[in-house]
Chain A
């Protein structure tokens, strides 16, 4: 038993560590690790990953809320969309075949790779559109010189639509879908990047929690796999986030993109050979 627990724990520590360093979260790495190396069925990997995402997001989001980066109103409005999507995705995960899930996962990894390589130039808007103004979604953020700058929020319907998709991805594939969430807020809704990242982190735990509750109550979470994985990912993510400021983040990110592409190809190939 100890060998199995140690192997799962080691895989999870690695996934949590790489997930924290790459900024993509442990879910993107633990699902393929469990499928490709531990040879567990895709649905079991997704269930274990959802539980782990809940655990890892708790610590990170507390720090962001404390430091004032999280836009709570944007988070709560968009969580209506992500939770709806996550419930739908988690329900579908019980019906869809493993091969379809693996193929979708490979495609999601390609999107994450693209997200990691895109430029981080941001254009924030000073004034919210009428709907966002009515919902008081704007806020203030500290700029590089330490001055408070007001920012507005626009295109809520487009952002919410993308959030439903992020929720479906989370419930269906067991990931936090942070890459989609940040894209929705930063690219479509014009929130500052740091606010988008912090708000996405705050939302990830709730989105994954909705999916995890469906999996758990359906009896689809294998405790023998999920318990060591949840502990390992939490330990790996904690270590990764502590080491991150002392490592060459940009060079590491490029390395992880290569890793992501290799895993995506392997997952895609595995899925297509199974049809």
Chain B
């Protein structure tokens, strides 16, 4: 009887994390990213259309100079009205979707005290974070 109650409680927590919080988090991040990208494109069209066109042709010709993006600098430049930074910030927010999903799955396994899956999920989360640093040295 007690074991059944514990099982039902664990199922309720899993339902809350997987089927309520995770979809809510993913939809919120996705909506925020889409909103920033739309605002970025409209702002670029109004303020810096020539910059966009020149940049696009540089990208096509392979002559565009790319520089590694720092999130803090991106936020600062976006708040100063830099159109390119707003667009890049929107793309960065999109990449938070998988990070958020894995972080919530980690919470679930921590709650279940499932060591093997805590280690596996922590490895995946570390891998995602490592991607940022790998890009900087690559």
Contact = CB atoms under 8 A, between A and B. Distances in A.
B130 interface: yes
A146 interface: no
Interface stretch (A18-26, A100-108, A204-212, A248-256): A204-212
Contacts of A221: 88, 91
B81 interface: no
A98 to B, nearest CB: 9
Given A59-B30, A62-B26, A225-B59, A210 B128 contact: yes
A39 B120 CA distance: 41
A223 interface: yes
B56 to A, nearest CB: 5
Interface stretch (A1-9, A109-117, A120-128): A1-9
A57 to B, nearest CB: 8
Nearest to B55: A224
A227 B97 contact: no
Given A66-B19, A214-B135, A219-B69, A224 B98 contact: no
A220 B66 contact: yes
Given A40-B59, A94-B138, A217-B68, A227 B131 contact: no
- Of A2, A38, A66, A224, chain B has the most CB atoms within 10 Å of the CB of A224
A71 interface: no
Given A55-B94, A219-B67, A206 B102 contact: yes
Interface size class on chain A is 35 or more
B101 interface: yes
Contacts of A84: 127
B66 A1 contact: no
A66 to B, nearest CB: 5
B59 A227 contact: no
Contact of A206 (B23, B30, B94, B128): B128
Interface string A157-181: 0000000000000000000000000
Contacts of A227: 37, 40-41, 87, 90-91
A234 B52 CA distance: 22
Nearest to A51: B91
B73 to A, nearest CB: 12
Contact of B27 (A62, A215, A234): A62
Interface stretch (A75-83, A189-197, A264-272): A75-83
Contacts of B105: 72, 76
A94 B19 CA distance: 38
Interface in A240-259: none
Contacts of A62: 22-23, 26-27
A89 B92 CA distance: 20
A71 to B, nearest CB: 12
A231 B124 contact: no
Interface of B: 18-19, 22-23, 26-27, 29-30, 33-34, 37-38, 40-41, 44-45, 49-50, 52-53, 55-56, 59-60, 62, 64, 66-69, 84, 87-88, 90-92, 94-95, 97-99, 101-102, 105, 108-109, 116-117, 120-121, 123-124, 127-128, 130-136, 138
